[in-house]
Structure formats: structure tokens, C-alpha cells
Amino acid sequence: MNWKKLQNGSDIRGVALEGIEGEHVNLTPEVIETIAKSFVRWIRNNSDCETPTIAVGMDCRLSGSSIKSAFVKGAVEAGANVVDCGLASTPAMFMTTISEHVKATASVMVTASHLPFNRNGLKFFTPKGGLDSKDIASILTIAENGEFAFEGAKGSSSTLDFMDIYSRHIADYIREGVNADDYQHPLKGMHIIVDAGNGNGGFFEKILSMLGADTKGSQFLDPDGRFPNHIPNPEDREAMASVCKAVEESDADLGVIFDTDVDRSAIIGRKGEPINRNSLIALISSVILDEHPGSTIVTDSVTSDGLAEYISEKGGRHHRFRRGYKNVINEGIRLNEAGEECWLAIETSGHAALRENHFLDDGAYLAAKLIVFAAKLYKEGKQVHEVIASLKQPKESKEIRIKLTDPDFKAQGAKVLEDMKAKAAGVEGWTIVEPNYEGLRVSCGNVDEAGWWLLRMSLHDPVMPLNIESNVGGGVEAIEGKLKSLGLI
């Protein structure tokens, strides 16, 4: 068993079901039980807790129930007391570790986000937040070495509908934020639709309805692990086109779309315009900078120049960091610890972590905060898209994925970056961007290019993504042509 192959950054991911040629099941019940026992051992190794309480939830994937059952079995055999929360969101599972209702020592979410139906995985939390990649590596090392033996008494298992508790928490946040005359129904008069993509986000429509919103036109609210309508992913073009059309046809004021396990979201404006990626970062940055002037906004590396300009115009400082939502979140936490005020760490994928919310990437909390903002604008006869009207969007953009063929692909990638940096430095009109925390970013100042490109290593795969953006028609082609002449593509 190749335990290390199960690690995907700060998560465990694998194949849980047959059905796709060439992909063989490696998340068997036995493997999951071993991981559960190893997690309990990891908790004991890293705390003085001998009998941990572990909350476990799952998304709606077809393999979710069997994996959850195997995890509960393994954890109980290892002496943990397990609280089975059933269908849940990933952020809610973190909240079980700080909620007075549970006070879990740790929690686990069975999910593989937006990956295909045959995949599944595990996310782990303690009251300090999500586990980092080094923690996942440690758990898998315990599993590989069989260091999880436990000779004490078995633990226990119980069930809890924590999503009801979590939903009330989100509803109260919206009530307090809007502070309407009709306090119990702060969204009365607003028309907001929800697209859950048949993931776990359907509960949010119930919250909005309870708060007085008209939610007619909401779609794909029922959990279905086959994801029959579209992939639940706020970055996916088909998913965004579907919810944008629904908002427009319903004549709604606002739309919200979630990924499978609700740690990501995006917004759709009054006229069906998508507010995701750079637009979403701009919108929530505007809200944050109104509340915390001068705050640093941490993002991943592929954000546009127009976004940096927008944040600067709003009085903020844009700190463009690396890809990987945990990298972005951890950088926000690090900056605060170093004395630099940062209230938002957000990746273009829709993972948004707010300091006011434990630096937890919570798609429902992000949506709730933006709905509070939209409700206040609504009273003034304004719409959210007006707030980001000055955001300069690139005219063209493209991503090319360059495959690396060397067995030591990391060394090969490092050499490519070194060579390209030397070549780019000699191109007239090109400037190497500094500071830069990932790969090589080059600003292209020639009139026919007016853009930038970023070459970096993939987080996990033998691939180098190349992102190109331009503010002029034909600019991407011009930049791409020059890169071809330099031997990159």
C-alpha cells in the first residue's frame, strides 16, 4: 500500500468507487479504518488528550456513508468517542471543535470537493484550524508503520444534527448584520436564489427563506452524489453559466452558488453577471476595507493586475502569494502574527478566510457577509455589481499546462524557471515582477501585449501551469508567440 500517494496537500484524497477506467479503488474500508486509528494516535501524540471526541461529517458522495462508517469504526476501536454529524458542510465540521454544543477535540469531513463521483477523501480539523500538509504526512506515516495500536477500552459513538445548530448561527449573523426593523426577517423584499449543484449547500436556501427572502428559482438543492446537473464548483464555466441564467430568468436580486462541501462560494449579480474569481475578491475586499481601512488582502498568485489596482484604490495592500488555499490562509495568519493587519485571505477558487471567522474558509459565511452587504445596498436602491464597476477586467486570458517528463520533475521545473528568468530579462518591454512568491511572473509592457504571464510549478503534479492575461485584443497571442520563440511552449 502506497500511503503517501493518498496525500493531496493538506487533505487525503483517493479513489473510493470503481467506474472510471484505469482508476482503482485505494480508499477501502480497511484503509479508512487504519487512517482513523492513526488520526487518534496523532491526536494523542500532539496533545494530552487520551480519550478524544471526534466529530465526523460527510458530503453527499455515493461512497460517503461507507467511508464515514469505516472511519467511525476505526476511531471507536482506537478509544475515541465519535459524534456522527451525518450530511454536513466542511466549515460546519470545523465549528464542532469550538462550539459549546460539541466541544470536539478534533473533526473530520468526508469529502473530495468538486472531484468526479468516484473520488473521495478526508479533511481534518482541530480548534486551531485545518491540519497542514506536514500533519497529514505524519498521520500517513503512523498508518504506514502500524504505530496506531491501542489496548485500552473502546470509545463510543453518538449522532447529532449539527447542521441545524450551524444554520441558526448563520441566520443570527445575517439578522445582526442587517439589523432590520423586522429583525426576524431582514431579507424580506429581496429575491435571492441558491444553486447547490446537488452538493451539500441546499441548507442555505432554507436559511434565506426563513429570513424572509423570496428564493423561487433556486436549483439543484437536493444532495445527489452523481451530480447530474453540473459540477458543484464556482470556478466551472458550465456551473456559473447555469446559475447566471437562473438569476436572469428569475429576475432575482442576487444568486449564490456553492461547491460540494460549501467551503467555497460565488455570487451572481442582478443582471446575471458572474461575480467569482477576481470579481469576488474585489467585492469582498471592498467590504473588508470599509470595515478595516488599510488592511492587507492576501490572495493566490494568479490574480490580475486590475485587482491589485482596485485594492490599492480602496486603500488596501494587495499581498499576492502562492496557489493553494492553505498557503493563502496560513500567510494571512502569519502576517497578523508579524504585526501586519490582515482581515482577508482568499484564493481565486473561492476559498475565502476571514479573520473575524477564525480564518476559516467558509463559503456560507462568505455568502452571508455579502448578503448582509447587499441587503444594505438594496435599501439604498443599489446593487452589488455597482461596487466593483471600476475593477479593470483583462480583455483576454489563457492557461496552458506544460507537461514535465523527467522522473525528477521538480528539478526539471526549477531548471525551466531558472532558464526562463534569464531569457525574460533580456526581452525588451518585459519586466520581472518582484516581490513574487511563486514561480516567475513577468509584466509585458509592449503596446501589443499590455499584460503579464506567470509560470509556476503545479502543487502536486508533473505540470507547469502558464497563465497569460492581456488588456488588449490579440495580446495573449502576442505574448504566447514570444514565449514560443524563447522555447517555452
Every domain of the chain and the residues it spans: 3-160, 163-275+363-392, 276-361, 396-485
Amino acid identity of 308? Answer: A
Burial of 144 (0-12, 13-18, 19+ CB in 10 A): middle
Residue positions annotated with a catalytic role: 113
Residue-level pLDDT at 74: 99
Homologous superfamily, domain 163-275+363-392: Alpha-D-Glucose-1,6-Bisphosphate, subunit A, domain 3 (3.40.120.10)
**Which among 370, 377, 145 has a CA at the least distance from the CA of 276?**
370
C-alpha dist (Å) from residue 164 to 56, 101, 122, 375: 15, 11, 22, 24
**pLDDT band with cut points at 50, 70 and 90 for residue 154:** very high
Evaluate if residue 341 carries a pLDDT over 90: yes
Q: Is residue 346 within a helix (H) or strand (E), and if so which, with residue range?
A: strand 342-346
Residue-level pLDDT at 114: 84
Residue-level pLDDT at 460: 80
Residue-level pLDDT at 101: 94
Residue-level pLDDT at 334: 98
Q: What are phi and psi of 155, to 5 degrees?
A: -85, -160
Name, in order, each residue with C-beta under 8 angstroms of 253's C-beta and a sequence gap of 6 or more.
190, 191, 192, 270, 374, 378, 383
Contact between residue 204 and residue 194 where contact means Cβ atoms under 8 Å apart: yes
Q: What are phi and psi of 298, to 5 degrees?
A: -95, 130
Q: Is domain 3-160 classified as CATH 3.40.120.10?
A: yes
Q: What are phi and psi of 56, to 5 degrees?
A: -130, 130
Entry pTM: 0.96
Q: Is residue 428 within a helix (H) or strand (E), and if so which, with residue range?
A: none
**pLDDT band with cut points at 50, 70 and 90 for residue 459:** confident
> Which stretches of 143-281 are assigned E, i.e. beta strand?
157-159, 192-195, 254-258, 265-268, 274-275
**pLDDT band with cut points at 50, 70 and 90 for residue 461:** confident
Evaluate if residue 486 carries a pLDDT over 90: yes
Residue 231 to residue 85: CA distance in whole angstroms: 24
**pLDDT band with cut points at 50, 70 and 90 for residue 427:** very high
Fold of 396-485: TATA-Binding Protein (3.30.310)
Fold of 276-361: Alpha-D-Glucose-1,6-Bisphosphate; Chain A, domain 3 (3.40.120)
Residue-level pLDDT at 464: 98
Cell numbers of 325, please?
Answer: 488555499
Residue 208 to residue 200: CA distance in whole angstroms: 15
**pLDDT band with cut points at 50, 70 and 90 for residue 198:** very high
Compute the mean pLDDT over every residue in the chain, rounded to the nearest whole number.
Answer: 97
